[in-house]
Amino acid sequence: MRKATARFICFALSLTFLISARAAAFPDWDFPLEPETVYDFDQYITLANRSHLLDSGYVPGDLVKTTVRRASGVGAMELRKAANDALNEMFEAASEAGYTLYLKSAYRSYQTQKTMYNNRLQKMGRDDGLVAYPGSSDHQTGLGADILNYAWTQKDGMNKEFAKTAEAQWMLEHCHEFGFILRYMEDKEDITSIKFEPWHFRYVGREAAAYIMENHLSLEEFTEEWQNYVADYEARGGDFHELIIWRARVRDAVVVNVNEYGEEEYSIFY
Ligand SMILES: [Zn+2]
């Protein structure tokens, strides 16, 4: 919510009239997902990879201590609240289906990535691609989780053989129901530049997860798809920001305050 507010600060008064005047003229939004999902108020669909590095200072504002079963020997971990809530639901559903899941890794700070990367560099004498470049880890979003079954918590390291386990197959089939996607798919290695990781699930919210898994997309492909759609929407005369504000107004979800400079500030609730 804080983020959304900040984005709308300092809109001039004239925008109010601009919106009402233009509301009827918005082009159709026929992307399969709601505009608010794509607008990403909560930063649930944020992409982190080698070409979309997260800022060294980026720390999610709503990290909580994880409350699901942890792999033995793994200390306290953190995830963003929505991801932890969803993970609890997924672990619960897995239990009901007869599977016991274990969380192995969750939020990873920029500093931790930097230390891991530098240690690897020192050991190998070069970047061998096996440790994420600082800022490129999906774990820095606080939405990525490495999840194993018991047998694999006892092993040293992980590999794609995990995909053959009943737990991995159950997660692949059901993760979207809880808002998770398989972040690094086997046939998307060329796109993600990351090897198949059948244990790494990423929270994106239920609507996006259902779409992404149904269409078998990497987060990179999904990002390109919605960004192209927004560009096309604007090329058709639409204004994405105005659309979001207008839709919030329609459902009476905008609070307008006047700041110290006499400008209107918009806070959107959704
Ligand atoms: Zn991972």
Q: Quick one: 188 and 118 in the same domain?
A: yes
98 and 155 inside one domain:
yes
Same domain, 162 and 202: yes
Q: Does any domain span residue 46?
A: no
What the block records as the tokens of 177 is 């129901």
- Asked if 13 and 263 touch (Cβ cutoff 8 Å), the reply is yes
197 is catalytic: yes
Query: Model confidence over 232-244: pLDDT tens digits?
Result: 999 999 999 989 9
192 and 212 fall within a common domain: yes
* Ligand 1 centroid, distance to 144 Cα (angstroms): 6
- Per-residue pLDDT at 24: 54
Using the mean position of ligand 1's atoms as its centre, give its distance from the Cα of residue 242 in Å. 37
Q: What is the pLDDT of residue 18?
A: 46
Domain membership flag for residue 43:
no
How many domains does one find in the chain?
2
Q: Are residues 151 and 247 in the same domain?
A: no
Q: 114 and 230 share a domain?
A: no
Q: What is the mean pLDDT of the chain?
A: 90
Domain assignment of residue 69, yes or no: yes
Q: Give distance in angstroms: CA of 96 to centre of ligand 1.
A: 25
Alpha-carbon span 212 to 209, nearest angstrom: 5
Token pair 């971990």 is at which residue? Answer: 77
Q: Could you tell me the residue range of the domain that residue 216 belongs to?
A: 58-221
Reported as a single tens digit per residue, the pLDDT across 134-193 is 999 999 999 999 999 999 999 988 999 999 999 999 999 999 999 999 999 999 999 999
Q: Calculate how far, in angstroms, residue 27's C-alpha sits from the geometric centre of ligand 1.
A: 40
Ligand 1 geometric centre to CA of 145 (Å)? 6
Q: What is the mean pLDDT of residues 83-95?
A: 98
Question: Is the pLDDT at 245 greater than 50, yes or no?
Answer: yes
- Identify the CATH number of the domain in which residue 168 sits: 3.30.1380.10
Q: Which of 36, 78, 167, 197 does the annotation list as catalytic?
A: 197
| Closest to 103 in 3D by CA, of 138, 59, 72 | 72
Determine the distance separating the centroid of ligand 1 and the alpha carbon of 156, expressed in angstroms: 15
Single-letter code of the amino acid located at 59: V
User: Does residue 136 lie in a domain region?
Assistant: yes
The predicted model gives 41-51 an average pLDDT of 95
Tell me what percent of the residues of the chain surpass a pLDDT of 90: 75
